[in-house]
Amino acid sequence: MSLATEADIGSKARERAQATLAETLPGVRFLVALLLPLAAIKAAQLFAAPPTADEAYYWLWGQHLDWSYYDHPPLAAWLERLSAEILGWNLVALRAPVLLTFAGSLWILWFWARRLAGRDLALRAFLGGAVAWLAMPMLMRFQSLAHQDHLLIFFGLLTAHFWALFHQGLEDGRRPWRYFHAGCVALGLAALSKYNAVFLGLGFAFWVLISPKGRPLLLTRHLWLGAAVAIVMQAPVIGWNIAHDWPSFTYNLQGRIGQSVHGGFAGNLQDFLLSSVLMLSPIAGLALYRFAIGAGTVKTPFEPAGRWVLIGSTAVFVALCASNTILHYWNLAAYLFALPVLVFYMRGRAEFAFHGLFGIAMGVWLVLAQVIYPSHRLFGSELRDVDISFGLEEIAAIVAEEEDFIGVDMVMTTDYRTASLLSFAGKRLDVVKIGLRDDQFDIWFDPAAHKGKDALVLVDEFLPEQELVTQVFERVTPIREFTVERFGVPVHTYRLVLAENYSGQGPH
pLDDT per residue as tens digits for the range 186-241: 999 999 999 999 999 999 999 999 999 999 999 999 999 999 999 999 999 999 99
| Cβ atoms of 279 and 136 closer than 8 Å | yes
Helix (H) or strand (E) holding 466: none
Q: Report the C-alpha gap between 322 and 324 in whole angstroms.
A: 6
Q: How confident is the model at residue 7 (pLDDT cuts 50, 70, 90)?
A: very low
438 and 344, same domain (yes or no): no
453 and 367, same domain (yes or no): no
Q: Per the domain annotation, does 507 fall within a domain? A: no
How many Å is the maximal CA-CA distance in the chain?
Answer: 92
What is the pLDDT, as a whole number, of residue 346?
96
Domain boundary among 333, 348, 372: 372
pLDDT at residue 8 is higher than 70: no
Q: What is the mean pLDDT of the chain?
A: 92
Q: Report the C-alpha gap between 66 and 63 in whole angstroms.
A: 9
Q: Report the C-alpha gap between 165 and 176 in whole angstroms.
A: 8
177 and 245, same domain (yes or no): yes
The domain tally of the chain equals 2
Domain boundary among 372, 402, 434: 372
> What are the beta bridge partners of residue 397?
none
271 and 405, same domain (yes or no): no
pLDDT tens digits, 104-138: 999 999 999 999 999 999 999 999 999 999 999 99
Q: Report the C-alpha gap between 304 and 291 in whole angstroms.
A: 10
Q: Per the domain annotation, does 379 fall within a domain? A: no
| Cβ atoms of 97 and 150 closer than 8 Å | yes
Could you list the residue range(s) of the whole structural domain that residue 400 is in? 387-502
Write the DSSP assignment of 254-268 as a string of letters.
IITTT--SS-SHHHH
Write the DSSP assignment of 394-440 as a string of letters.
HHHHHHHHHHHHHT-SEEEESSHHHHHHHHHHHT-S--EE--SS--H
Report how far apart, in Å, the C-alpha atoms of 82 and of each of 78, 79, 152, 335, 361 are.
6, 5, 18, 29, 35
333 and 481, same domain (yes or no): no
Q: Per the domain annotation, does 157 fall within a domain? A: yes
Q: Report the C-alpha gap between 175 and 99 in whole angstroms.
A: 34
366 and 418, same domain (yes or no): no
Its pTM stands at 0.94
Q: Per the domain annotation, does 164 fall within a domain? A: yes
The answer for 450, left when phi > 0, alpha when psi is -120 to 50, beta otherwise, is: alpha
Q: Per the domain annotation, does 1 fall within a domain? A: no
What is the pLDDT, as a whole number, of residue 313?
97
pLDDT tens digits, 339-369: 999 999 999 999 999 999 999 999 999 888 8
Domain boundary among 318, 346, 372: 372
Q: Report the C-alpha gap between 49 and 42 in whole angstroms.
A: 10
Q: How confident is the model at residue 251 (pLDDT cuts 50, 70, 90)?
A: confident
Work out the end-to-end distance of the chain between its first and last CA atoms, rounded to an integer number of angstroms: 78
30 and 146, same domain (yes or no): yes
Residue ranges in 172-281 assigned as alpha helix (H): 177-191, 198-210, 221-232, 235-243, 247-250, 265-280
Rg for the chain (alpha carbons), in Å? 25
Closest CA to 329 of 437, 196, 438: 196
| Cβ atoms of 412 and 507 closer than 8 Å | no
Average pLDDT, integer, range 46-54: 95
What is the pLDDT, as a whole number, of residue 407?
93
Q: DSSP letter for 503, please.
A: -
Q: How confident is the model at residue 46 (pLDDT cuts 50, 70, 90)?
A: very high
Q: Per the domain annotation, does 194 fall within a domain? A: yes
pLDDT at residue 478 is higher than 70: yes
Coil, strand or helix: which one is 484? strand
The answer for 501, left when phi > 0, alpha when psi is -120 to 50, beta otherwise, is: left
348 and 401, same domain (yes or no): no
pLDDT tens digits, 319-328: 999 988 899 9
pLDDT at residue 6 is higher than 50: no
419 and 286, same domain (yes or no): no
